[in-house]
Structure 1
């Protein structure tokens, strides 16, 4: 962790706002973004704006610490940022570098050398039947052990919509960036990831990257 990213005692003392909310701006938000980046939750710009990408990072932190998921940032979030992440791996004896998708929590953790290097809010399959233009299917994200078998950089558009930086791991199912990553399972089966996070994920996960998807952990 770079010294410039560590909050100083003065910065900590300046956190006076009891509650930060989406849409807020200022140095408190800038500090929040830096702390979220240190924790491997946030990969967007340090711009002092509580935008959607910042909200998704807050959700990821709250999920990983088993907190109530909400956009508001109060003392509980700052305390969580001061605590190390202690989460049981889905695959304790798995490879040092891997992606773990936790469907129940709607959370993804990317490991490097057995340590969390990216922690992200996701939206997976909606668990319902869908039909579009005469084509039907089940919106289910498959559970199992997979590997990235195809990569598609940038935007691609298929019959079910647009996907960004897609990492396919089984059939047409991929980890991919999306402009719509609600706090619920909502996809046709893919694992949607916030846009800024998907850029970092695409850099990290190459061909053959292990992808483990589980319903419970």
Structure 2
């Protein structure tokens, strides 16, 4: 069993396999830190396993089997958001390039600017319609969003320091700040990039 805080060759091997399968992890360094935990959660979600962040027998079996989600889009570059599995997929011509742990709307009621709201993430076919290359404060006073890419009104995919393996947001789709940097700086998802939420 491997868990957060572990170090060494076994952790390195797991990290290398996660990267090989397309799970977002910047580098394999043999240190089971928060970034590795995010990648393990993503694998567990894709495999339909308990989201405990531990690399035990079932998670190792998923790694060995090469478990990775399939894309729904078939052409061009697209961001796919799988709400059931709480994953963001970076897709190129029908091939999943990266699998990212995500956290979307939790369905709870809340009040913003004196008005009752429900924390949900809308499904449907959208595009990136607005983006802010930096930290942005929610106009509804719901907190900070790192490098948001908006796809419908106030809904965006954005970086955060809190991405648990379950729905926890007011409706936006949270990914790690490192994953958001990768989307902006390496992969690229300019205005007009399709965003498919299901």
Q: TM-score, normalised by structure 2?
A: 0.89
8 Å CA contact 1:98–1:112 kept in 2: the answer is yes
Q: Determine if contact 1:127/1:138 at 8 Å carries over to the other structure.
A: yes
Answer yes or no: is the 8 Å Cα contact 2:43–2:68 preserved in 1: no
Quick one: distance in 2 between partners of 1:88 and 1:50? 27
Q: Mean Cα displacement is larger for which, 149-158 or 73-82? A: 73-82
Question: 1:16 maps to what in 2?
Answer: none
The runs of at least 4 consecutive aligned structure 1 residues that moved more than 6 Å come to: none
8 Å CA contact 1:43–1:200 kept in 2: the answer is no
* Residue of structure 2 equivalent to 1:46: 28
CA RMSD, aligned part only? 1.8
Question: Match of 1:154?
Answer: 134
Partner of 2:16 in structure 1?
Answer: 34
Q: Are 2:71 and 2:96, in contact at CA under 8 Å, matched by a contact in 1? A: no
Task: Note if contact 2:71-2:91 (Cα within 8 Å) is conserved in structure 1.
Answer: no
Corresponding residue number in structure 2 for 1:195: 177
Check conservation: 2:70, 2:96, Cα contact below 8 A.
no
- Does the CA contact (< 8 Å) of 1:130 and 1:136 recur in 2? yes
Q: How far apart in 2 are the matches of 1:58 and 1:107?
A: 12
Cα shift readout 1:16-54 (whole Å, capped 9, x = no counterpart):
xxx101111122222222221111113334332211111
State the aligned residue count.
194
CA distance in 2, matches of 1:192, 1:48: 26
Gaps of 5+ in 1: 1-18
Rg bigger for which structure?
Answer: 1
After superposition, residues 70-81 of structure 1 pair within 5 angstroms as 70-81=52-63
**Which secondary structure does the structure 1 equivalent of 2:182 belong to?**
helix
In the aligned structure 2, how far is the partner of 1:184 from the partner of 1:66?
A: 13
Equivalent residues of 1:33, 1:42 under 8 A apart: no
The worse-fitting range, judged by mean Cα deviation, of 201-210 and 168-177 is 201-210
Matched, 1:206 2:186: no
Deviation at 1:193, TM superposition (A): 0.6
How many Å separate the matches in 1 of 2:150 and 2:71?
Answer: 22
Q: TM-score, normalised by structure 1?
A: 0.82
Q: Is 1:139 aligned with 2:119?
A: yes
